[in-house]
Amino acid sequence: MKKCKLMLGLVLAGLVSLSAQAIEQRDYHKEVIGKDCKACHDQGMKNYPSDQACLQCHDVDDLAEQSARSEEDKWQNPHNNLHYGKELPCIECHGEHEAKKPICSNCHTFKYDKHKE
Amino acid sequence: MSNKDLLGRRNFIKGIGAAAGVAIAAPAMAVSESANGVKWDKEVEVLIIGSGFAGLAAAIEATRKGAKDVHIFEKMSYFGGNSAINGGLFAAPDTPMQKQEGVKDSVATMVADQLAAGRGIADEALLRHVAEHAVEALQMTLDAGSEYHPYLQQLGGHSVARTYQTTVSCGAGITQPLLQECRKIGVHTHNRAKFDGFILDEKGGVVGVKMREGYYFDKPESGELVRIKAKRGVIMATGGFAQNVNMRMAQDPTLTAEVGCTNAPGATGEGMFEMFRLGAVPVHLAHLQSGPWASPDEGGFGYVSNYSIYNFPHSIAIDRLSGKRFMNEIADRKTRADAELNCRDAQGNPLPPILITSYEDSKKHPNTKKVLKYNVGWKFDSIEELAKHFEVPVAPLKQQIAEYNEYVKTQNDPQFGKNMTEAKGKYIKAPFTVVRLWPKVHYCQGGVQINTKAEVKDSLTGQSIPGLYAAGEVCGGIHGVSRLGSCSIPECMVMGMTAARTMMQA
Ligand SMILES: Cc1cc2nc3c(=O)[nH]c(=O)nc-3n(C[C@H](O)[C@H](O)[C@H](O)COP(=O)(O)OP(=O)(O)OC[C@H]3O[C@@H](n4cnc5c(N)ncnc54)[C@H](O)[C@@H]3O)c2cc1C
């Protein structure tokens, strides 16, 4: 936590450009979470956020509604999909600090225009 | 090795791994240990490892047979393994739908078909046991809410139509209802829990396991080591090793990382290998099956696989260099995969062959729309257009189609001896749909030897290893050289149920 803030401080001061990558963050998350790394890193700073961490703020049913597809493609909804329903942990497809491909792309050529890699 | 030493060594190895930036240490830790003086972190009644068909069926059956405290442990963050991405094709003899459609079938016929594909080294007793109980397994899925297409399919190597398929054309149409059923009846399901080794009593029987909880698949050293006692025993349902390139290449050096794979990432086999270390008999490990219906235009199983499985009986597979057929489109998998691998350009580079189907017939399968929509298949209005797109010589192709259509009429294929029954009246004519074909490593025939009670045999004593049961793809030898399509679901489920029954009687 301390380290995280410190690094941010350095970056903001323009001293260390290298760390910029380490704290890349989505704009809307910056607004809500700010610099509180622990808001997501509930399993310690060195670990991924738990599978429940994102669900403190995001609701699976809402997400499923937002990403719903037409009847014909209804099971390609990443938040309620054919293989795993609504149970897929967020970090399978989303990384706050790193680009990730949706897990579907292991086998399918679906396009998710709004998915930020 | 005392616990303390064990942890010390673990931390030491962890350090090396981190420094070198590579994760090679994990397997070194996966060693069984004696229960003598073990401090158990937990105790459960029935301990199942792996959450595919075999594990889920075992959990439901154990509960039905009276177990009160059943636990499934899964190393991935999600449940279902290969079973959740499988094609949803389920073969069984003497089913209600066969009666309805007037198909004559029997346990003996299904076993005979499988023995033929097994080329003399399949395990007849196990095949018979599975065929005899396949309808019970089908019923278990129906009870849990699985839904099937209202028609039967006849897959390559099967002498009659005996294959059901879920309405979503995917194994998830079974794993999702079974998982819900498990939760409903009180089975405990744990994700991110990786089996790491057995714990043995003084007689060499399995009394518990080492498990890493909070395991992240992309961080091989992650997780907290716990020791879990299993009162009735352990059911290994950890699947195959098709994703383990080293192990694949140890068996068949041609199966390099460049050859595709249809399996889920977790199919790496360490559960199987740990049983070998314990003394289980390794059977048929070199018989790795590649799927001849896969496409190089998408990853894994994708959409094309089920599309082509359905369409092969009324389609022609064409070598793009010659414009001619090169195989019986419904021969068994190995015959077709080998034939496809021979399709190469003048320099010897892979030239994936094409499967041509009349749109009129292909469109009956739900995947056809998706195949076209997601650009892994194409539709053409004329042979010329098709030939141009794939650079196939047009004259021989036209001639081949005309000849083949004659076979459709006469119901006789002198070229490759294809059974033309399913192709009756289905001429190859425009408009066409086309996909490209290239085999992908798909299924491990090999694994640990089991008997018809799902007990694991010890190679040194010839006896069953007490407390240890195995079911599903982790087991070997059942199918022999080549497994027929749609025969894994019944095997996994029946042997999962069998393991639970044996354990509850023991
Ligand atoms: C894409 C595809 C399509 C298929 N289509 C068909 C079909 O239509 N019909 C048919 O009959 N067969 C089909 N098969 C074959 C069939 O799906 C598999 O053989 C079957 O799913 C295996 O089931 P299982 O329960 O043995 O293992 P799996 O379903 O693979 O489950 C094993 C589970 O164990 C977990 N595991 C592994 N190691 C550990 C460990 N150390 N600790 C904890 N957990 C562990 C894995 O992550 C996995 O979730 C298909 C296979 C694939 C890959």
**Residue A69 domain-assigned (yes or no):** yes
**Residue A14 domain-assigned (yes or no):** no
- Amino acid B338: pLDDT: 87
Mean pLDDT per 10-residue segment, chain B (506 residues): 29 32 42 88 98 98 98 98 97 98 97 96 98 98 97 92 95 98 98 97 96 96 96 98 96 84 97 97 96 94 94 97 97 90 92 97 94 97 98 98 98 97 96 96 97 97 97 98 95 98 96
Note the pLDDT tens digit of each residue in A35-62: 899 999 999 998 999 999 999 999 999 9
Is ipTM > 0.90 here? no
**Residue A49 domain-assigned (yes or no):** yes
Residue of A nearest to B192 (CA): A51
**Residue A2 domain-assigned (yes or no):** no
For residue A48, the chain B residues in CB contact (below 8 A) are 216
Q: Which residues in chain B (322-381) have CB-CB distances under 8 A to chain A?
A: 369, 374-376
- Amino acid A31: pLDDT: 87
Q: How far is B192 from chain A (nearest CA, A)?
A: 10
Overall domain count for chain A? 1
- Amino acid A19: pLDDT: 45
Strand positions, DSSP E, B104-223? 163-165, 188-190, 193-200, 206-213
Nearest to B240 by CA among B264, B218, B267, B265: B267
Average pLDDT for A101-110: 93
Domains of chain B as residue ranges with CATH: 33-241+443-505 (3.50.50.60), 293-438 (3.90.700.10)
Residue A14 predicted with pLDDT over 60: no
Active-site positions of B read 333
- Amino acid B85: pLDDT: 97
- Amino acid B263: pLDDT: 97
pLDDT classification of A72: cutoffs 50, 70, 90: confident
**Residue A78 domain-assigned (yes or no):** yes
Residues with CB under 6 A from ligand 1: B 49-55, 73-76, 81-83, 85-89, 171, 194-195, 237-239, 262-263, 266-267, 270-271, 301, 442-443, 472-474, 486-489, 492
Distance CA B134, CA B160 (A): 16
- Amino acid B29: pLDDT: 53
Q: Which of A43, A82, A108 sits opposite B168 (nearest CB)?
A: A82
- C-beta separation of B301 from B88 below 8 A: no
For residue B214, the chain A residues in CB contact (below 8 A) are 43
Question: Which CATH number covers residue A92?
Answer: 1.10.1130.10
For residue B78, the chain A residues in CB contact (below 8 A) are 83-84, 87-89, 92
**Residue A61 domain-assigned (yes or no):** yes
Q: How many angstroms separate the alpha carbon of residue B293 from the centre of ligand 1?
A: 18
Note the pLDDT tens digit of each residue in B405-457: 999 999 999 999 999 999 999 999 999 999 999 999 999 999 999 999 999 99
Helix axes B124-144, B488-505, angle to 10 degrees: 90
Contacts of A45 (CB under 8 A, 6+ apart): A1, A3, A4, A37, A38
- C-beta separation of B193 from B73 below 8 A: yes
Q: Does B77 touch chain A (CB under 8 A)?
A: yes
Q: Count A/B contacts: CB-CB distance under 8 Å.
A: 53
Residue of A nearest to B179 (CA): A84
- Amino acid B257: pLDDT: 80
Tokens of B262: 């249809």
Of B180 and A10, which is predicted with more confidence?
A: B180
For residue B151, give the 3-state DSSP assignment. coil
- Nearest atom in ligand 1 to the alpha carbon of residue B55 is 25
User: Which of B370, B378, B436, B440 has the highest number of chain A CBs within 10 A, making it the mutation to test binding with A?
Assistant: B370
Q: Which of B191, B297, B300 sits opposite A106 (nearest CB)?
A: B300
DSSP state string for B74-95: -SSSSS-GGGGGS--EEE-SS-
Q: Which domain holds residue A33?
A: 26-116
For residue A105, the chain B residues in CB contact (below 8 A) are 299
């390794």: which residue's tokens?
B282
**Residue A74 domain-assigned (yes or no):** yes
- Amino acid B33: pLDDT: 87
Residue A5 predicted with pLDDT over 80: no
**Residue A20 domain-assigned (yes or no):** no
